[in-house]
Amino acid sequence: MDEPILSEDEWKKRLAPERFRVLREKGTEMPFSGELLSTEKEGVYSCAGCGNIIFSSEAKYDSGSGWPSFFDIIGEDRVEKHRDGSYGKDGMEITCARCRGHLGHLFDDATSPTGLRYCINSLSLEFHNKSDTNDNAIVSEPLTPTP
Ligand code: FE
């Protein structure tokens, strides 16, 4: 994966402050506060930084954790996983493979159909309704600095 083209100043211009704090500064939203926590609509979830489509509503489940939770991702190439000691031995930080934005963490979860829980901040995601659009119609934000 190439280095991100955008500077952090550029991200600051593009993102709402609360999204910047999570995506670029690895913040975590308050549990049970996220807008997408209880969304059960059919569709896909993209990175709120760059539009990279990462999760399907088909893999969303109620983990009880307080953050939107998924048991699978659309493609292994969509994210990068990083060891993160601060979340115990099983927790790995998950970042967007395209813009390197912080998404959340990956944990083992015995209650998940795959044994995995992608525990993701609502602020890191954008939901796209299946009825409004299809995968091909979602336009990724170009990662080039604004003139
Ligand atoms: Fe991204």
What's the confidence (pLDDT) of residue 95?
97
Q: State how far the alpha carbon of 111 is from the alpha carbons of 33, 58, 64, 83, 92, in Å.
A: 22, 16, 10, 22, 18
Taking a 5 Å cut-off on Cβ, the residues next to ion ligand 1 are 47, 49-50, 52, 96, 98-99, 101
Residue ranges of the chain with per-residue pLDDT less than 50: none
What's the confidence (pLDDT) of residue 131?
72
Active site residues: 119
The structural domains of the chain, ordered by start, are 8-129 (2.170.150.20)
**And the tokens for 57?**
């509503």
What's the confidence (pLDDT) of residue 135?
52
